[in-house]
Chain A
Amino acid sequence: MTADIGIRTSPLAAWTDRLAALEPALTAVERPFLTQLTVRVSDPVAVAGMGGALGVAFPAHPCTSTRGRGPFGDVEVLWLGPDEFLVVAAPDSSVPVEDALRTALRPARGVVVDTSAQRTTVALSGPHARDVLAHGCAVDLHPSVAPTGTCVQTLLARTGIILRVADAGSGAFTVLVRSSFAEYLAAWLSDACVEYRAALS
C-alpha cells in the first residue's frame, strides 16, 4: 500500500536541509517510514522459526544485532532485551512481515506489535560520527569494544536511543529515537557538530 506516500510526514521532515548542512563533518540522514516491529518471544524454537521466516537469524547475544536479506528484502533484527527484538525492514512492508512473524511464532507465547511510527531512524557516518556521539553517549564505541553489529539501548545526551554500529571500521552508526524526541536529537547533533564543521571549513 503506497497510495498514502504523499500525505505522510516523518518526524524529521523539517530537518532534512539542516541535517544535510552538517556535511562533511557528519553525514546525518533520516531514514523515514521504515517498518519496525516489536517482537516479544523467548521460546527458542519460535525464535529460530521467526529468523527462518525473515531469512535472518535473530541475534543470539545481548546488545547485538543481525542483518541479512530474505523474502522481505534487507532486514535487521535488533536485540532489545532477553525476550524482546526489533525487526526493521523496508518501508511499507509491515503487514506481510508481521503476518510472517506471527505465523512463525505460533504456537509459542509471544507477540508481534507494529511500532513503525514509534521511532524514527537517523543514519550517522562521516569523519566525526564517533566523536559526536562521544559528546553525549557514555557507552564505549571504540571498535575493539563495539564491533559492527553492536546494538545498545542507552542515553544520548538527554534522550533514550537505540544505537546500532553499522560499520565499526568507518564509524557508521544508526540511531533510533522516539519520534517525539527526534527534533531534540537533531538539534543536539547540530550543536555538537558546530566545532567539527568549523574545523573542516
Chain B
Amino acid sequence: MQLIPCPWCGPREETEFHYGGQAHVAYPEDPSALTDQEWAQYVFFRDNPSGPFAERWSHSAGCRRWFNAVRDTRTHDLLSVHRIGEPVPDLGEKDEVVS
C-alpha cells in the first residue's frame, strides 16, 4: 500500500486517490479548428514513458483536490507532487532506479 503525498493533506494511502492520467494535456483552445488527427491526438493519445512521468491525481477520499505528480513508472516512486498552478518541475535525473 503505497503512500501518496497529497500536497494539502500529506501522505495518505493510495486507496484514497484517483488517477487522472497524463498531466499538462490542455483542453484545446478551439477544438473546431483542429483536424481530425489533431483532435484524436488530444482525445486518445497519451505518453507512456519508462521513467519519470508527470501525471494527475485527485485526493478523492480526502480533500478532493487535483494535483500533479511526477512518478517513476519503473518503480512507482513519486518523485514530487505539486499543486495545480505550480510550475512543472524539472524531470531531470533525480533518481537512480532500483531494479
Contact = CB atoms under 8 A, between A and B. Distances in A.
Do these two chains interact? yes
Interface of A: 62-63, 80-82, 84, 138-139, 152-155, 160
A178 to B, nearest CB: 12
A60 B38 CA distance: 45
A139 B16 CA distance: 11
B12 interface: yes
Interface stretch (B44-52, B57-65, B68-76): B57-65
B9 A62 contact: yes
A81 B63 contact: yes
A141 B84 CA distance: 29
A154 B61 contact: yes
Given A62-B9, A63-B9, A155-B15, A160 B63 contact: no
Contacts, number: 38
B91 to A, nearest CB: 25
B92 interface: no
State the main secondary structure of chain A at its contact with B.
strand
Given A63-B9, A152-B9, A154-B12, A81 B61 contact: no
Contacts of B62: 152-154
Contact of A155 (B8, B9, B10, B61): B61
A160 B59 CA distance: 12
A82 B8 contact: yes
A81 B15 contact: no
A82 B63 contact: yes
Contact of A81 (B8, B12, B13): B8
Nearest to A139: B12
Interface in B4-47: 8-10, 12-13, 15-16
Contacts of A62: 8-10, 63
A9 to B, nearest CB: 28
A152 B61 CA distance: 10
Contacts of B61: 153-155, 160
Contacts of A153: 9, 61-64
Contacts of B63: 62, 80-82, 84, 153
A154 B1 CA distance: 15
A155 B61 CA distance: 7
Given A152-B62, A153-B62, A153-B63, A138 B13 contact: yes
Contacts of B8: 62-63, 81-82
A81 B65 contact: yes
